[in-house]
Structure 1
């Protein structure tokens, strides 16, 4: 397969959307290796293919000739399924969304500002899909909810700096099974809950 200028050829045999799911999983494997192994079996791919897909994504993203802004995501995922205009404070932006077969109730969303600058890129709940009921810490299971859902359920929540570019942390107060409330920090990868920090 011939590479287009500024990009590497796609991984042989793997369509772009599948490759991108492997990129998401590679980052999540640091916290949830068991869930990632289950997902790889569901996708019918090996760990080596996941590592190679991630290597190619990193090379594409870091290339000095790489497409900037949402073009990087379009080059792998194709045209977005949905484009929604939004206003955040005083700023206008666009949300580009793609389906993610591994998580059928979620969409991968790229939020862009003026000039196509990417502000954020993460998993969000699909419109019309029922999110989980989050009342106590016991409801916060890995991969069950997004940053926005935890922030709303346990408001006011405080965003914190993540440990990597694709990670977010959120500090909040929530009750445990006995009703006792305490402060906790949740860690997310690509916007999906991975764990509660000890």
Structure 2
């Protein structure tokens, strides 16, 4: 029997809470553009971590919740939207035929993020993972063309899938609000102290930028 939406949301939060103690602040440069999955996400608002929380912490939760919504929509599509399901099956077969698929089997904390770091100004990469992925995509044959009638039908089914996804998303947000207290408590316990320590270290560096021993003190 399929697990209820309430159970799946609770299990996703539990999995995120088990991962959170292993989180550490990133040491590499930040991204130049906001994450499309997390920026303005109603999921993060419902969970109470939409502001003043590092993106890595947010992304681990938003990705887990997105998986739940995607799986619900996939089941609805398979049962009710045959034309859209056929297109998705063809696209999946096309993707599986690629010789290089770097986005597969990524953990929730990395899924959906750019494959490559931001390049240093004036120092372009010799090659990138994204370039290899694009080359592999070009090797696979394109999907067969659709008639105008099929395109219209497909647009209607896509609209129905989007409407269903929105309904599931709203219910997921409602369920997440019931977990807000323990989500916030975990952030206060595992994340905030690390951020405070970084700020303290930065403040100390700014207050004493030079070692007094350099001046014979």
Q: Fold match, TM over 0.5?
A: no
Higher relative contact order (CA 8 A, sep 6+): 2
Look at both structures and tell me which one has the larger radius of gyration over its CA atoms. Answer: 2
Richer in helix (by share): 2
Richer in strand (by share): 1
TM-score (ref. length: structure 2) = 0.19
